[in-house]
Amino acid sequence: MTELRIAFTLNGEPCEAQTAAHRTLLEVLRARGAVDVKEGCGEGVCGTCTVLLDGEPVSSCLVLAARAQGRDLMTVRGLGDAGAPHPLQSAFVAHGAAQCGFCTPGMLLTAYALLRDRPRASRAEIRRAIAGNLCRCTGYTKIIDAIAACAEGAARG
């Protein structure tokens, strides 16, 4: 069993972690208190464990922790907090886009990466982008509304 020492940045802060090689990034992040990263399916399907790895949404349940070495990680805490929310977070609140909230961190990070790459994303593009993030509560409409409200030229078809 290989033990590794890995160094990465987490929400802008340099971090180190000691881990066995068979641990996933999800396990290591949660063990060090990043419980804003949620474990749902553990199989890459649901998107609750989404983190940005060098800016790209990935399923942290399907990434070995060893792969975080030297990389930049962002969780929803890196987006903003109650004191200084990101516009997407404010829009989720304003639109009632979170109910139980379990899917919300993954939804926000996926939406953030989408609007960073496609600031004028249409509703169709938003739907496609969040197709891999499952929500058991909202029925998605309010989530799409919230994200669309943050797109440039908001509420385009």
Partner 1 sequence: MPAAPFDYEAPATLADALDLLRERGEDARPLAGGQSLVPLLTLRLARPRLVVDLDRLHELRAVRRTPGALEVGALVRHRALERGEGLLALCPLLQEAAALIGNARVRALGTVGGSVAHADPAAELPAVLRALDGAVVLRSARGERVVDAGDFFVGMLTTALAPGELLTAVRLPLPSPGAGFAVEEFSRRAGDFAVVAAVAVVELDGGAVARARVALAGVGPVPARLDRLEAALRGERLESGAIRRAVAERPLEIDPEGDIHASAEYRRHLAAVLTARALERAAEAAGRAIV
Which residues contact ligand FES by CB under 6 A?
39-42, 44-49, 59, 61, 98-103, 135-138
Q: Which residues have C-beta within 8 Å of that of residue 63, sequence separation ≥ 6? A: 24, 25, 26, 53
Residue 79 to residue 111: CA distance in whole angstroms? 11
Smallest distance from partner 1 to CB 143, Å: 15
Residue 99 interface partner, choices partner 1, ligand FES, ligand FAD, none, CB cut-off 5-8 Å depending on type? ligand FES
83 burial type by CB count under 10 A (0-12 exposed, 13-18 middle, 19+ buried): exposed
Q: Is residue 64 within the footprint of partner 1 (CB under 8 A)?
A: yes
Q: Is residue 82 within the footprint of partner 1 (CB under 8 A)?
A: no
> Closer CB to partner 1, residue 27 or residue 36?
27
Dihedral over alpha carbons 59, 61, 62, 64 (to 10 degrees)? 120
Q: Which residue type, as a one-letter code, is found at position 82? A: A
Binding stretches for partner 1 (CB under 8 A):
1-2, 4, 20-24, 27, 42-45, 47, 50, 53, 56-59, 61-64, 66-67, 110, 129, 131-132
